[in-house]
Amino acid sequence: MNFTLDEFTSQVRRDILRMVHKVNSGHPGGSLGCTEFLVALYSTIMNRKDGFEMDGIGEDLFFLSNGHISPVFYSVLSRIGYFDVKELNTFRLLDSRLQGHPTTHEGLPGVRIASGSLGQGLSVALGAAEGKKLNNDPNLIYTLHGDGELQEGQNWEAIMYASAKKIDNIIATIDLNGKQIDGATDDVLPMGSIKQKFEAFDWLVVEIEKGNDLKEILEGMEKAKALSGKGKPICVLLKTMMGNGVDFMMHTHAWHGKAPNDEQLASALAQNKETLGDY
Amino acid sequence: MKTYNYTEKKDTRSGFGAGLAELGRKNPNVVALCADLVGSLKMNQFIDENPERFFQVGIAEANMMGIAAGLTIGGKIPFTGTFANFSTGRVYDQIRQSIAYSNKNVKICASHAGLTLGEDGATHQILEDIGLMKMLPGMVVINPCDYNQTKAATIAIADYKGPVYLRFGRPSVPVFTPKNQTFEIGKAIQLQEGTDVTIIATGHLVWEALEAAKALNEKGISADVLNIHTIKPLDDNAILKSINKTGCVVTAEEHNYLGGLGESVARVLVKNNPAPQEFIATNDTFGESGKPQQLMEKYGLNYKSIVESSIKVIERKNN
C-alpha cells in the first residue's frame, strides 16, 4: 500500500457516507465506528492471500456478524482489492452484488457468509475455526459483533461451546459502542459487564479502550494474536464511538440506520479528506 | 402385479447411521455434528471410527447449524443430527440465512419425524417440517421409505453439492427396497404399474401404499404406485406420466396436508393436467401421545385410509 492508514480511513469514511446518501438507506453510524478496526484488520493484522477462494485455506478469515454495517465492509473489501471500487456505486440497488446486508448469494468476493439476521456469525466462525484445525491450517479466524447483538441467545451457545472445545484460533471482537436501534444498550436491555461475562465463560479478554485509534487497535490486536493457541478463545472488547469522524453523527444513536441529506453529506465529507480518490 | 416381501423390520434412522458410518470410511471430508441425541440418531459407529470428525455441540441446535455452515468453509461436508422438530422449526432462521441463503453444503439429517415418534407427544412430533424446508430456495428435501433406502440416500447426498434436508423416523418398518441400491435424488420410483388410480407416497407411507395396492387389486382395482423419496426437486414427469394414465391420485405422507407432498403434487397437476386428488395426511392438527401404530390409525395414515380414498377418488373421476 502506498498510502497511510489514516488516509485509508478517511477515504473509507467518505465511501460509507456517499454510499448511504446515494440510496438514502443503510447504516452509517456503526460503519463509521468500526472503520479504523476494519482498516487495521485488512491492511495489517490479517494474513491474507491475493484473490478470493471461499475455502480460504492457508489464510486468516474474517466473518462480519453484525451485517448491517455492510458499508464499511464493502468499502474496505474493495479498497483492499477484492473488487473494483466503482462497484460501491451499486450499493443497495437492484441487481447489485452489494446487497443491503452482506451475502454470498451474488458471489461478491470477500464475503463468506450471509449476515444481517443477528447473532449467527460466531457459530459460523467457530465452524470455520474447527475446519482450520481439521485441515491443520494454523491461520486464524476473526469476527466482529455488535454489543447489542449479544442480546441474541445463540451467541451464548457459541461462547459456551468455544471454551468447552478449546477453540483457540478465533479472535472475536465486540464493537462496544453502547448503542442499538432503540437507544443506549443500557436502556434497551442492560447487559452488565460484558468482560465479566466472557471471562466467566472462560475466554481470554483483551480490551481496546480507544477503539477508534489505529495505534491502539494494532497494539491490542497484536496482543490478542499472541494469546492464540493457548487453549482458550479470545475476545476483544473494542470501545468505539458510533458515527466517529462526523461530528453530528457522534454521541447519538440517531444515525444507526439513517442516511444524511445533501447538506449533511457536504458537511460530513468536509470533515473527511478525499485521499485515495472517490469511486 | 409385483409382489413385495420383507424379512425384517428396521428403523430408518438406523439406515442413516449405517450410511453415515460408510461415508466416514470412504469420504474424509464428511464430518458429523449432534445436539445431544447421538444414540437416537444412531451415530455411534461413525463417532467410534472417526472421533476427530465428530462434534458434540450439546443442547444448542442453533449453534450446531451455524457451526455446520462454517465447517463447509474449508471443504468439509457436515451432517447434522437431531430430531426433525429441532432440525427445522427451532432453527429455521439459522438454516435460512447461514445455510440456504449462503448456499452451504450442509446435510440436515432429521430423525423422529412425524407421528411415529410416538409416546413423547406433539412437542416432538413435527408435521410441518417438509413444508418449512421445501419453501427454502435451493433446499433439497428427501424422505426415504425404509432402512435400505435411507442408507442409500445418506450416502448419495454427500456427493450432491448444496443444502439437503434428509427426513427419517423412529419406528421399525418393513425393509423391502434393494440392499445397496443406487439413490438418485429427484427420481421417483415406480413400485406398481396400474391404470385406475395413482398412489403417490413418501416415507413410512410407501409400504402402506403397497399394502393398499394389494387390497385394491383384490377388489379389481389396479393402482399405479410411486415412491416419491425426493419431495424437492419433485419428479414432475413421473407424476404426470402416471396421472395421464390413471386420471386420479391419492397422495400419502406422515405430515400436515398443508405444505406437504400432497400440495406439491397438486401444484404439478393444476399447472399441467388437473385431476381429482385425495390427501392422506394429517388435517391441520398437532399430534399426541400414543403408540406409533395407534397414532397412524387414529389420524388415518395407513393402508386402510389409502384404500378408502382410492375408491373415493375413482368415483370422483368417473362422475
Residue-wise pLDDT tens digits, A187-244 = 999 999 999 999 999 999 999 999 999 999 999 999 999 999 999 999 999 999 999 9
Q: Where are the beta strands (DSSP E) in chain B?
A: 9-11, 30-34, 54-56, 77-83, 107-111, 140-142, 164-167, 172-174, 189-192, 197-201, 223-227, 230-232, 249-256, 277-282
- Domain extents in chain A: 5-270
User: pLDDT per residue over B240-297, tens digit each?
Assistant: 999 999 999 999 999 999 999 999 999 999 999 999 999 999 999 999 999 999 999 9
Torsion of the alpha carbons at A90, A91, A95 and A97, rounded to the nearest 10: 100
CA A194 to chain centre: 18
In 3D space, the residue among B273, B109, B266 whose CA is nearest the CA of residue B200 turns out to be B266
Predicted pLDDT at A14? 98
Q: Is A161 in contact with B60 (Cβ distance < 8 A)?
A: yes
Same fold, B9-174 and B189-318: yes
* Superfamily in which the A5-270 domain is placed by CATH: Thiamin diphosphate (ThDP)-binding fold, Pyr/PP domains (3.40.50.970)
CB-based contact, A120 to chain B, within 8 Å: yes
Confidence of residue B24 (pLDDT cuts 50, 70, 90): very high
Quote the CA–CA distance of A164 and B210 in Å, as a whole number: 49
CB contacts of A115 in chain B (<8 Å) are: 97
Predicted pLDDT at A2? 82
B74: nearest CB among A55, A153, A161: A55
Predicted pLDDT at A202? 98
Average pLDDT over every residue of B211-223: 98
Angle at B292 between CA B85 and CA B189, to 5 degrees: 75
Share of chain A above pLDDT 90, in %: 99
- Domain extents in chain B: 9-174, 189-318
Q: Is A120 in contact with B103 (Cβ distance < 8 A)?
A: no
CB-based contact, A131 to chain B, within 8 Å: yes
By three-state DSSP, how is residue B274 classified?
coil
CB-based contact, A167 to chain B, within 8 Å: no
In 3D space, the residue among A234, A242, A241, A216 whose CA is nearest the CA of residue A122 turns out to be A234
CB-based contact, A159 to chain B, within 8 Å: no
In 3D space, the residue among B273, B272, B279 whose CA is nearest the CA of residue B256 turns out to be B279
| DSSP, res B192 | E
Average pLDDT over every residue of B85-103: 98
Is B61 among the catalytic positions? yes
For residue A141, what is the enclosing H or E element?
A: strand A141-146
Strand B9-11, strand B172-174: pairing: antiparallel
Average pLDDT over every residue of B213-238: 98
In 3D space, the residue among B203, B210, B208, B227 whose CA is nearest the CA of residue B145 turns out to be B203
Backbone angles phi, psi at A196, to 5 degrees: -65, -35
Amino acid at site A146: G
pTM of the model: 0.97
Average pLDDT over every residue of B301-314: 98
User: pLDDT per residue over A134-169, tens digit each?
Assistant: 999 999 999 999 999 999 999 999 999 999 999 999
Q: Is B74 in contact with A115 (Cβ distance < 8 A)?
A: no
Predicted pLDDT at B189? 98
Share of chain B above pLDDT 70, in %: 100
**CB distance A219 to A148 below 8 Å:** no
* Superfamily in which the B9-174 domain is placed by CATH: Thiamin diphosphate (ThDP)-binding fold, Pyr/PP domains (3.40.50.970)
Q: What is the CATH number of domain B189-318?
A: 3.40.50.920
Quote the CA–CA distance of B128 and B263 in Å, as a whole number: 12
The distance in angstroms from the start CA to the end CA of chain A is 18
Average pLDDT over every residue of B15-26: 98
Q: In sequence order, which residues have a C-beta less than 8 Å from that of residue B299 and are 6 or more positions away? A: B115, B282, B283, B285, B287
Confidence of residue B133 (pLDDT cuts 50, 70, 90): very high
Amino acid at site A253: H
Give one DSSP letter per residue of B127-191, joined into a string. Answer: SSHHHHHHTSTT-EEE---SHHHHHHHHHHHHTS-S-EEEE--SSEEE--SPTTPPP-TT--EEE
Quote the CA–CA distance of A172 and B250 in Å, as a whole number: 54
Q: In sequence order, which residues have a C-beta less than 8 Å from that of residue A270 and are 6 or more positions away? A: none
Quote the CA–CA distance of B279 and B161 in Å, as a whole number: 33
In chain A, which residue's Cα lies nearest the Cα of B53?
A: A134
CB-based contact, A47 to chain B, within 8 Å: no
Nine cell digits for residue B274: 388437473
Q: Is A57 in contact with B74 (Cβ distance < 8 A)?
A: yes
Identify the active-site residue in B22, B61, B253, B263: B61
- B34 has which bridge partners? B56, B81
A27-39 burial string, b = 16+ CB within 10 Å, else e?
bbbbbbbbbbbbb
Chain A, chain B: beta-carbon pairs less than 8 Å apart: 119
Question: Closest Cα of chain A to B184: distance in Å?
Answer: 27
In 3D space, the residue among B33, B28, B67, B236 whose CA is nearest the CA of residue A135 turns out to be B28
Predicted pLDDT at A1? 75
Distance of CA A211 to CAs A118, A175, A223, A233, B302, Å?
A: 22, 8, 14, 20, 64
